[in-house]
Amino acid sequence: MADASLRPIPRIDPDLARRLHGRADAGRWGLSVEDFAATLARSVASRYRDQSPSPREIEQYAESLHVEDLALACACARGREPAWEHFVLGFRPALLAAARSSAPPDLARDLADSIYADLFGVEERDGVRRSLFDYYHGRSTLGGWLRAVLAQRAVDHARAARRIEPLPEGDGDPRIARDDGPPDVDRSRHLPLVRRALGAALAGLAPRDRLRLALYYTQQMTLAAAGRALGESEATVSRKLERTRRELRRVIERRLREDDRLNDAQVAACFEYARTDPAFDLNRALPPRDSEPDTG
């Protein structure tokens, strides 16, 4: 049987692409008909993964899609700022509300922010920024898809938390209760390295970028409030926060590799250790607002 990954990308009829491009009003996001046709083709390929649909089946399927949402997602994945601003203003409140209904208050904001980071595309593969939007194919509404993604993140987090919960105290084998295992030597060796790398990365940020982080994390401001303080739109604050977080990670990785001579596995372990290290709480690592310079 032929490898499904080697199947050709379905061809989208140009007239169909133009018609749906117009229905979606995709031009307002700066998407060409060719851009939108490629997005439609990816959706068709996902739907008919192990099949070869006929032109009629492709047309019927494409006509059933939520094309306005698909065009918005496509434009956001390509970094079109008007589309991203529209998305933040239109979808962020509902996403935060859904997060609060799916997770405890202390976790809800982190879940919503993690999705925003993945939607913007903080991960790169082979030099190409990968966005979570690439996995939206228009079969459901964008809002419904986002709620489903968030709900799955909440479930995944709950499962992970259960895996690391300590065993309950009781009448079990006392030898097991007393056995804490050997100390993690790598953790004690690597955490100081990654802490220093974080400090250096924060110190190397532009004052305005550091202030933006401080307003959001230390002062616990909303995106809108931070934007008012900085004279920026809510969407711009969100986008620049994601850019700064990516820059921090890039600088930390480079320092660990070049200065501390760590390999890929060791760098990955450093970031895993950092997840539970208080030094990586930006609320603690950043200076208070009063110590930041006035950037105007």
CA dihedral defined by 36, 38, 42, 43, rounded to 10 degrees?
30
Least confident of 22-31, 48-57, 127-136: 127-136
The whole-angstrom separation of Cα 125 and Cα 104 is 33
- Residue 210 has a pLDDT of 86
pLDDT at 292 over 70: no
Domains with residue ranges and CATH for the chain: 12-76 (no CATH), 80-161 (1.10.1740), 185-291 (no CATH)
CA count, 13 A, side-chain hemisphere, 253: 11
pTM above 0.85, yes or no: no
The phi and psi torsions of 130 (rounded to 5 degrees) equal: -100, 125
pLDDT at 72 over 50: yes
Helix-strand-coil split of the chain, %, nearest 5: 70, 0, 30
- Residue 31 has a pLDDT of 94
The whole-angstrom separation of Cα 90 and Cα 75 is 15
| Tokens, residue 205 | 């940020």
- Residue 99 has a pLDDT of 80
| Tokens, residue 276 | 């539970």
The phi and psi torsions of 129 (rounded to 5 degrees) equal: -70, 125
**pLDDT range class, residue 164, cuts 50, 70, 90:** very low
> For the segment 192-215, what is each residue's pLDDT rounded down to a tens digit?
888 888 888 888 888 888 888 888
The answer to whether the CB of 273 falls within 8 A of the CB of 189 is no
- Residue 270 has a pLDDT of 82
**pLDDT range class, residue 266, cuts 50, 70, 90:** confident
